Structure 1
């Protein structure tokens, strides 16, 4: 005969009245007892209890569909009712319907994913699937990614479950994408930049559509790995270094510094001196003989002593290259200014030094106080305050007769001459610069007092010498003589 079918939601409490089996079989009350009715279950596990006196069929214990049917759908339990006198066998089926008693589950609570920062939008990364032991609307129906990063996720079910639904929050570059039967993939939705953000913590929420609605969360850590997409950047586009002249060889004169936003070997920087280029200020500069640079630290060292009077300033370029593949690099301009040191004493141009025939200045006895006798002219090879010169009368054979102006070296009479003044005088003039420490030179002036002479006397050389190329000292001397001549 045709089997009698019953339906019961899983997890129904023990003692629940399922049906009156005697009535459903068309038997009289008490007939089950008189005919020795008993029930036989597959696997010999008692699932239901029969009251032979009343014919009521009761739930013996809670029935778990996922345990009894192990994923089989529909879940139908078969059992038999056995009667004696006469022998009869009735087939009975019990269908357990699903309730939403299982949350979706992931095999692992967390997942680590490493993605290079130069990955193109749309790149797919497979992820592990979630499982839900329930069926129908009680199984997985919805995947949600939070927060929305540069990825997205879309999921897909088959059969009664239908298509999964995705929702996106915030504005970050990830998306979930459907594959097959609750399998999903993570898809890049926008460009990644490790230097802006090197890690994303994504929470994927999976929920079913049962009542009550159950959900679970899956954490994914996305680590963005570095690629060499940033060139080193100098802290300054140009550097100005001040170096005192006469420095000791090997002197550390300054440091250039660059940083790289990448990481690892992509951020390791090597510094170098670049050869002069066309258009540079000093294209013929022998840079390798002047300076060296430490490849790792960017420290610059002077290889030899610099001379301000020979080389006052020079420029060159330094390079910073990373160790990525391919390597990226940048340049910076370095200006070196050599600072003057007081290493030159004043040099007296006039009166000229001539031990054999010293120059003698003629002074009229009728000269008024303040009469300009001569002018000491001197130069200094240094610059700035190191070349500022002052003049001082150190010694005089007749104190109080002559004075020397401190700033221009003019030698003048301080009073009227008298008959008692000696006809010859000797003056020692000191010329001193303003350096630290100050350097000086001295010159001796010979003065001869004459009667009836009022014009300056300038000795003329007996014969003209062969012409020779003028040097710096000759130029200074000509200027000095012209200056002295203009005063008289």
Structure 2
């Protein structure tokens, strides 16, 4: 039995594998022949003239399912006894790039702790290709991010040969907590085939932020002083320390502790909310000024902390004027000299204005006193300038009048005398309205 090797590409329909002929020198039925192959193979024999046969594929072959076939061709004559002979053909199925790469996962979730060192190996992505040779050799790449503002090229890179992912720089949880991108795997076939997978990177928080105190501010300015009445009961709320932490989870859980106090045992700090309260009743023997040092600590590993200084002033009551601490007043004066200059300038302007008003009043009084001593009459130079009395009952005075005041020395009385109106044609109308409104008023003036 001889063997013939033939190679055929996969995915071809009714492809000729081999053409051969058979012969038998006998005559009659002894020389008639029948060729056959096993029925479980995707091939068939196609007879032709002069005992020629063609071996043809029955269906398209798939190299990924079976890459090699051994076909035994049996030739039997019709004599008695029947004689037979066999020939073997080995069919090799060659690969065609008909399979796309496949990732082991459609999506990957990776965790990276913040403050990582650059070039850190995060993880790997992997894909396989069921083809053979160059058709199965893969190249990995990063795909453009969906978010155009994500600086992916500066965050991660991928090894084109093995799919290893190396953070390019240190990641900061407070700036970027998570980001997502795509990776591609492309084979080297012709035409090349590729596939994609999604990668999501989660940045894990590290305890790299200390607590920050929002109140009271510790910015180097004059310290804030809390007032506490001496009549306060035990548990009186003095103030509350407010702090935040830029971390997350247990790294941001804060606790408060009183480290130092001017008089231990007088004040206490609640550990969970930062409330500063009196621990007992106050007495006259307690010092009026107290300084408290409070520590704020997070629950990270290792823990981080910050401290804040509180100033407390004991007063007899809230009606008592508040006087800042001497050192605080001095620091405030040095820190804000502009305020002092503004106060001095405002006081100077106010003094000059008050002095001008006093001089004006004095001059007016002197003139009036001189006129009274001479017993003369002073007549203003123009019409009556102020708000006039309504004598017509209509709410307005339709014209202006001139008047004179005659002061007689020693008499202690003054006479009020109307002069002629500026516009005589309105005088009659004015007198008629006065007479109609109040006749007794007219009689009074006539008798005088």
Q: TM-score, normalised by structure 2?
A: 0.69
Deviations 1:124-146 (A, max 9, x none): 22244344343321235212211
How far apart, in 1, do the equivalents of 2:275 and 2:24 lie?
Answer: 110
From the superposition, tell whether residues 314 and 379 of structure 1 become closer, same or farther in structure 2 (CA, over 3 Å): same
Q: Does 1:321 align with 2:186?
A: yes
Give the structure 2 partner of residue 376 of structure 1: 241
Give the structure 2 partner of residue 212 of structure 1: 81
Q: CA RMSD in A?
A: 2.4
Give the structure 2 partner of residue 391 of structure 1: 256
Runs of 4 or more, structure 1, over 3 Å off, are 127-133
Contact 1:271/1:294 (<8 A) preserved: yes
Deviations 1:252-286 (A, max 9, x none): 1111111111111000000111223xxx2x12322
From the superposition, tell whether residues 177 and 360 of structure 1 become closer, same or farther in structure 2 (CA, over 3 Å): same
Higher strand residue share = 1
Give the structure 2 partner of residue 146 of structure 1: 38
Q: Does 1:125 align with 2:17?
A: yes
Contact 2:24/2:33 (<8 A) preserved: no
Give the structure 2 partner of residue 477 of structure 1: none
Contact 1:244/1:338 (<8 A) preserved: yes
Q: Does 1:197 align with 2:66?
A: yes
1:452 alignment partner, SS class: coil
Higher helix residue share = 2
Give the structure 2 partner of residue 38 of structure 1: none
Give the structure 2 partner of residue 346 of structure 1: 211
2:192 alignment partner, SS class: coil
Shift of 1:356: 4.4
1:292 alignment partner, SS class: coil
Q: Does 1:237 align with 2:82?
A: no
Q: Does 1:113 align with 2:6?
A: yes
- 1:430-449 equivalences in 2 (<5 Å): 430-449=295-314
Shift of 1:364: 1.2
Contact 2:119/2:169 (<8 A) preserved: yes
Shift of 1:452: 2.0
Give the structure 1 partner of residue 389 of structure 2: none
Q: Does 1:429 align with 2:322?
A: no
How far apart, in 2, do the equivalents of 1:203 and 1:432 lie?
Answer: 84
1:137 alignment partner, SS class: helix
From the superposition, tell whether residues 441 and 118 of structure 1 become closer, same or farther in structure 2 (CA, over 3 Å): same
1:246 alignment partner, SS class: coil
2:21 alignment partner, SS class: coil
How far apart, in 1, do the equivalents of 2:32 and 2:245 lie?
Answer: 95
- 1:273-422 equivalences in 2 (<5 Å): 273-276=142-145, 280=146, 282-422=147-287
Deviations 1:323-377 (A, max 9, x none): 0001011111111122221111001111111434111111111111111110000
How far apart, in 2, do the equivalents of 1:458 and 1:261 lie?
Answer: 86
Shift of 1:458: 13
Contact 1:147/1:202 (<8 A) preserved: no
Of 255, 258, 261, which residue of structure 1 is paired with 2:130? 261
Q: How many residues of Structure 1 are paired with residues of Structure 2 in the alignment?
A: 328
Deviates more, 1:428-437 or 1:211-220: 211-220
Give the structure 2 partner of residue 223 of structure 1: 92
Structure 1, gaps ≥5 residues long: 1-107, 151-173, 466-488
From the superposition, tell whether residues 393 and 194 of structure 1 become closer, same or farther in structure 2 (CA, over 3 Å): same
